[in-house]
């Protein structure tokens, strides 16, 4: 039986809802993520469905709302009646995400992002040993055919990332990444380019499995605002 149909039967869901859970990366079998909703599986298969956490507001004033975005929730799925999204994070990335209550202020923020006047720090678990700071200055080209795929290319848009080591556990490293540009999948592409793909990021060559791409937006500074989000539990426990 096809995976999404069996999941729908077991969980008492519609076929569409079950398929969406699989497409969103929330369904696993014995710890391994189900990636193809229409894959044939034995009818004795038992699924595990991950619950998506709700976004937490970490700061709010008359101009801005900052939330700690959970994994497996797209930026566009988070909505406020009185605020508009300023920037985006990948679906599996956790951390600081900003909304503006004032349209003029939102435009100022968007301009600040474009002109690289925002400080953005991320942390990630990567494959291999990272023992010294590395600057990755490699243009990125993105092709969008259903799913966006980026790569380093001479004819791409300028992109720069600074990678700093934080911890080493066996053949895995925890790193901090500062980005001065914001290209699609920039951190994922740059880390893969230097031979240290993010754990769980099979799209960009990771071999080590995880429930998600282990990337977290921990700190953002824009104008007078300095905002930070604690590492999630699954991220802290990965060592």
Q: Using pLDDT thresholds of 50, 70 and 90, give the confidence band for residue 203.
A: very high
44: burial class by Cβ within 10 Å (0-12, 13-18, 19+)?
A: exposed
Q: How many angstroms from the chain centroid is the CA of residue 138?
A: 20
Does position 158 have pLDDT exceeding 90, yes or no? yes
Does position 51 have pLDDT exceeding 90, yes or no? no
82: burial class by Cβ within 10 Å (0-12, 13-18, 19+)?
A: exposed
| One-letter-per-residue 3-state SS of the chain | CEHHHHHHHHHCCCHHHHHHHHHCCCEEECCEECCCCCCECCCCCCCEECCCCCCEEEEECCCEEEEEECCCCCHHHCCECCEEECCCCCCCCEEEEEEECCHHHHHHHHHHHHCCCCEEEEEEEEECCCCCCEEEECCEEEEEECEEEEEECCCCECCEEEEEEEEEECCEEEEEEEECCCCCCHHHHHHHHCCCCECCCHHHCCCCCCCCCCEEEEEEEECCEEEECCCCHHHHCCC
Task: Give residue-wise pLDDT tens across range 73-84.
Answer: 999 999 999 999
pLDDT at 237: 61
Residue 89 CA to residue 227 CA, distance in Å, equals 15
pLDDT at 218: 97
Does position 239 have pLDDT exceeding 70, yes or no? no
- Would the CATH topology of 3-49 be identical to that of 56-236? no
User: Under the phi-then-psi rule, with left for phi > 0, alpha for psi from -120 to 50, and beta for the rest, what region is 116?
Assistant: left
Phi, psi of 194 (to 5 degrees): -95, 15
pTM given for the model: 0.86
Identify which of 174, 156, 175 has the alpha carbon closest to the alpha carbon of residue 164. 175
List the single range of 122-136, 154-168, 225-239 with lowest mean pLDDT: 225-239
Average predicted confidence (pLDDT) for the chain: 93
User: Above pLDDT 70, what percent of the chain?
Assistant: 99
List the single range of 24-38, 86-100, 125-139, 165-179 with lowest mean pLDDT: 24-38
Task: Give residue-wise pLDDT tens across range 114-143.
Answer: 999 999 999 999 999 999 999 999 999 999
Level-2 CATH architecture, domain 56-236:
2-Layer Sandwich (3.30)
Level-2 CATH architecture, domain 3-49:
Roll (3.10)
Of 90, 137, 155, 234, catalytic: 90
Q: Note if 201 is an active site residue.
A: no
Q: Where are the domains of the chain?
A: 3-49, 56-236
Residue 104 CA to residue 239 CA, distance in Å, equals 44
pLDDT at 210: 85
What's the token pair of residue 93?
A: 């990335």
What's the token pair of residue 12?
A: 């008492």
pLDDT at 83: 96
């Amino acid at each position: 039986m096809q995976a999404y149909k069996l999941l729908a039967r077991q969980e008492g869901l519609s076929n569409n809802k079950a398929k969406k859970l699989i497409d969103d990366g929330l369904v696993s079998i014995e710890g391994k993520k189900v990636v193809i909703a229409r894959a044939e599986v034995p009818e004795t298969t038992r699924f595990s469905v991950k619950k998506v956490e709700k976004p937490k507001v970490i700061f709010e004033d008359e101009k801005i709302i900052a939330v700690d975005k959970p994994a497996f929730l797209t930026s566009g799925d988070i909505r406020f009646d009185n605020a508009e999204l300023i920037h985006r994070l990948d679906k599996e990335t956790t951390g600081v995400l900003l909304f503006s209550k004032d349209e003029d202020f939102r435009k100022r923020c968007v301009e600040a992002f474009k002109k690289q006047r925002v400080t953005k720090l991320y942390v990630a678990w990567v494959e291999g040993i990272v023992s010294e700071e590395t600057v990755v200055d490699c243009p990125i080209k993105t092709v969008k055919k259903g799913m966006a795929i980026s790569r380093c290319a001479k004819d791409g848009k300028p992109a720069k990332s600074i990678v700093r080591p934080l911890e080493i556990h066996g053949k895995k490293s925890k790193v901090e990444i500062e980005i001065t540009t914001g290209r699609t999948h920039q951190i994922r592409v740059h880390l893969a380019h230097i031979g240290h793909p993010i754990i769980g990021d099979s799209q960009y060559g990771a071999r080590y499995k995880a429930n998600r791409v282990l990337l977290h937006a921990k700190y953002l500074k824009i104008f007078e605002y300095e905002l930070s989000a604690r590492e999630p539990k699954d991220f802290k426990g990965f060592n």
